[in-house]
Amino acid sequence: MPNHFIFDQSNSSFYGKLTNMYTDPGIVAPTDADAATNDRSFISSASNSSSLGLLGGTINLTLQISNPSGSGRTMYIADIIGGISVSLSLLSTFSASVTLYRGGTLSSPSTLTPFNAKFGSAATSSMTARSSTSAPSGATSFMSYAVNPGLFEFPFQGGLVVPPNQIYTMNVSAALSVAGVLSTTATVVWWEV
Over residues 51-100, the pLDDT tens digits come to 998 888 999 999 999 999 999 999 999 999 999 999 876 667 899 999 99
- 1: Cβ–Cβ under 8 A, 6 or more apart, which residues? none
Q: Looking at 3-7, 30-34, 165-169, which range is the least confident one?
A: 3-7
Please report the DSSP string for 22-33 in residue order. Answer: SSS------HHH
Please give the model's pTM, rounded to 2 decimal places: 0.83
pLDDT of residue 19: 53
Neighbours of 51 (CB within 10 A): 12
pLDDT of residue 30: 74
CATH topology (fold) of 31-192 = Jelly Rolls (2.60.120)
24 versus 60: the higher-pLDDT residue is: 60
Over residues 179-192, the pLDDT tens digits come to 889 999 999 999 99
pLDDT of residue 4: 55
Q: Which residues of 93-106 are buried (b: 16+ CB within 10 A; e: fewer)?
A: ebebebbbbeebeb
pLDDT class for 141, splitting at 50, 70, 90? very high
Where in the chain are the domains? 31-192
